[in-house]
Chains A and B, each alone.
Chain A
Amino acid sequence: KQEVTQIPAALSVPEGENLVLNCSFTDSAIYNLQWFRQDPGKGLTSLLLIQSSQREQTSGRLNASLDKSSGRSTLYIAASQPGDSATYLCAPDSGGYQKVTFGTGTKLQVIP
């Protein structure tokens, strides 16, 4: 059974800082891993999808890396902005028809 842990659970940083969110998963036999953003009271927005054969993906100020063998992924946010404040979830796909397991998330607050 896949278990996903995200550290830290909460993070508060001043605007402009670069930061790293960590995700670890117990079953390294994954097909891909997705990072989501969740805003209070809203649905999930997909940020990045990394295939198991890839090491990283970039989108704007976001960079996600994947080390499948060690069961780890990181989400790097450059030059953080108050609009980045949200909960960030990682979700590895362990197989079947998109059998996705979510971590409990990292709640990020970027202070102006």
Chain B
Amino acid sequence: DTAVSQTPKYLVTQMGNDKSIKCEQNLGHDTMYWYKQDSKKFLKIMFSYNNKELIINETVPNRFSPKSPDKAHLNLHINSLELGDSAVYFCASSPGAPQADTQYFGPGTRLTVL
């Protein structure tokens, strides 16, 4: 009964390729997020969606495009991958009430761009 799941867990690809990471939550939450954790273990929010609508869009290259087909899914598509995109990407969800909720995180997807 996984709460927040991500696929794949590991992704190794060549520069210039396009790839997607999928995220699903079965908690019935309204809000979902994507975070990037770089090699120094620093976590930074990338996007936040509430009920399929984009709420937060931090300074992220437009090669990154989130897609939310429904409230339980938030996928991350990355075009023209670059070496600097190598990181661990975490998906998270929360019930949705602003400023009040615990976030639940997925296990992460380790992306390596060669």
Contact = CB atoms under 8 A, between A and B. Distances in A.
Interface of A: 31-32, 34, 36, 41-46, 49, 51, 87, 89, 91, 93, 95-102, 104-105
A36 B56 CA distance: 21
A97 B31 contact: yes
Interface of B: 4, 31, 33, 35, 40-45, 48, 50, 55-56, 90, 92, 94, 98-108
Contacts of B55: 96-97
Given A43-B4, A89-B43, A99 B108 contact: no
A46 B44 contact: no
B113 to A, nearest CB: 19
A40 B101 CA distance: 25
Given A43-B108, A100-B45, A34 B50 contact: no
A76 to B, nearest CB: 19
A100 B31 contact: no
Nearest to A31: B99
Given A42-B108, A44-B43, A45-B105, 10 more contacts: A43-B105, A95-B99, A97-B31, A98-B94, A98-B99, A99-B45, A99-B48, A100-B103, A102-B44, A104-B41
B33 A44 contact: no
Contacts of A93: 99
A98 B105 contact: no
A43 B107 contact: yes
A25 B107 CA distance: 26
Contacts of B106: 43
Contacts of B43: 44, 89, 91, 102
Contacts of B104: 46
A45 B102 CA distance: 10
B41 A97 contact: no
